[in-house]
Amino acid sequence: ADTNALLMGKTTKGHAHLMQRFVSGDKPYYNAFNSPIDACRAGAILEERMIAHLGSEWLPQYRVECEDMNVLRSTLDFTNLDKGKIVDFIELKSINFDDYLKIPLNGRLDFVKKKYKQYYRQVQQQLLCTGLKEATLRFLCVYSYDDSENWQRVINSNDYTDIRIERDDKVIKQIKERASIFQAIKDFYVI
């Protein structure tokens, strides 16, 4: 959500709210497992189930800071490391069955850029922070919003669709431009 707010128009409420949170120093803490929103809880639970599917070479919830602009940070859903260096990551998005069926077989990248622009931008910020050239955006089908069913779910490879996202220098440039004021504030006030 922060990436999307960062790239909104500078006069929008979303961008203003991001700036207000930033200068206030309040760091939000979200506990999706206790969310009253079914989709948030399902996403958090299914993320836990996905790590069981992926195996031990993937680390969950790995936080990375951009070397160029330390004001930019990202939490990667699943990270693959080699000798302590990030070599790949997966950004997981859980979507309901009806939306999952709308993902086309061809032209998936164009579909993501149009229908899920905020996710595309998020992956671009993650690519900026990691220095990687590409990563995977994974759409996982949600069959049920019942917590107990989701905790028991065994994820199979036919339950998700992977879309490889390459670094988009145009979007990354826009992220850096918009983040520059945040970096200036941090550099000025924070030691």
* Cβ atoms within 10 Å, residue 119: 20
For residues 15-44, average pLDDT: 78
* Cβ atoms within 10 Å, residue 190: 9
Pairing, β 58-65 against β 85-96: unpaired
For residue 176, what are its two tokens? 């850096």
For residue 153, what are its two tokens? 């779910």
* Cβ atoms within 10 Å, residue 99: 14
Rg of the chain in Å (alpha carbons): 17
Instruction: Note the pLDDT of residue 127.
Output: 97
On the question of pLDDT at 191 being above 50, the answer is no
Q: Is 107 left (phi over 0), alpha (psi -120 to 50) or beta?
A: left
For residue 23, what are its two tokens? 């200068």
For residues 155-167, average pLDDT: 95
| Residue 139 near residue 103, CB atoms below 8 Å | yes
The beta strands (E) that lie in the chain are given as 58-65, 73-82, 85-96, 134-142, 160-166
Give CA 160 to chain center in angstroms. Answer: 16
Pairing, β 85-96 against β 73-82: antiparallel
Instruction: Note the pLDDT of residue 81.
Output: 95
Q: Is 78 exposed, middle or buried (0-12, 13-18, 19+ CB in 10 A)?
A: buried
Per-residue pLDDT band at 2 (split at 50, 70, 90): confident
Distance CA 38, CA 143 (A): 12
Is the pTM above the cut of 0.85? Answer: yes
* Cβ atoms within 10 Å, residue 69: 18
On the question of pLDDT at 62 being above 80, the answer is yes
